[in-house]
Amino acid sequence: MDLSLCIEDLRARLERHRGSDLKEAPSRRIFVETLLQALGWDVTNPDEVELECPTIDGKSVDYALKADGKPVLLVEAKPLNDPLRDLKSVTQVVGYAANANVKWCVLTNGVTYKVYDSYAKAEAPEKLVFEVSIDPEEDSGTPVQEIAERLSLLSPDSMANGVLDQIARDAFTMGKIRKVLDRIFADPPAAFVRLVRSKVGDDTIKPAEVKEGLAKLWARPPSVATTRSIRPSVERSATGVVLIKDRARSYKVSSEDVAEVDTVVVPAREDGFNEVFLGEDRWYEIRLHRSVIPGIKYIAAYQVAPVSAITHWAPVKNIEPWQDSGKFVVNFAKPAREMKPIPLVPKSRVKALQNIRYTSFDKLQRAKNLDEAF
């Protein structure tokens, strides 16, 4: 089956099973193995795909994908509704791969695929190179063809040609550079300030103004819109080599002036809402633009269907980087409080929330529906 058609088919299956307690075995059969077949892996051939491959600790990994009889990619599957946030699960699959001398491994629930480089010199969660989701609620607005191209990085041809190896080198190099630049621009060294000032060539600009300007430029969003996500987009050159490029997407903060934005609204499924938003007094793996963070004082949860409403809010204690991923964790100052539901209404301007949105707390308190909240 064509990979794009396979994704469309899997999305239809997802809608049928969303909210059901689909266990690991049927999740593997219905979702994972269907996708592996579409990628070009013959799951019926043990010389190409070994099921329940033994590991060094006497356990087994769900799939060992092979090239020339040797494993090149390990895949560990979880139930459909598993959020894939459990540190133990990440450490487990990365450990399986490292111990088997296999560079690449994937943790998946059949819908989201998290790709790790087990050789990376970092803690297990930080070995994540990229992730792909076929769920339209997770990857809204991304063409199916683009998702197919990302997933094709896991195909036999891609693995044989070492495409992921180049991606990993680029990703970790750029990540380290970004961390250094974050520190430099947050508090520019005097020598760097002098260099910039000399290049500007205007003695009326004071060093303190250069320093302040550098920090603002590094943090400034491109417009009133704030970055939603930066994911690898995929193109093929004339020679057939897969190229990865970063593509930034934006969406509107709200009709409020940016200076008045003090609340972030996050979509939450039932399990994550109960376990994390209510159970841990925090919400993590959120993409926020750094310039917005200082003004965020509140967080609210929009519970997806069948609730389809903003139902709880909490004051924000602080916002911290999340595991060097470019994302953030929002820690609550107090446990979340229930509020009068702000529902999605039929034929509304604002559709069901699939990504974070920004607003003001005052507007949120007055809103009777989602259209009035944003």
Q: Dump pLDDT digits (tens) for 163-183.
A: 888 877 777 787 778 888 888
For residue 26, the one-letter residue type is P
* pLDDT tens per residue, range 258-278: 457 899 999 998 888 999 999
Domains and CATH numbers, the chain: 3-161 (3.90.1570.30), 166-249 (no CATH), 254-373 (3.10.590)
157-168 exposure pattern, b = at least 16 Cβ within 10 A, e = fewer:
ebbeeebbeebb
For residue 37, the one-letter residue type is Q
pLDDT confidence band for 228 (50 / 70 / 90): very low
Q: Which residues contact 361 (CB under 8 A, 6 or more apart)?
A: 262, 263, 297, 298, 313
Shortest CA distance to 285 belongs to which of 134, 112, 103, 76?
Answer: 112
Output the pLDDT for position 96: 94
| Rounded mean pLDDT, 279-292 | 84
Phi, psi angles (nearest 5°) of residue 301: -110, 125
Q: Is the pLDDT at 93 greater than 50, yes or no?
A: yes
pLDDT confidence band for 298 (50 / 70 / 90): very high
pLDDT confidence band for 83 (50 / 70 / 90): confident
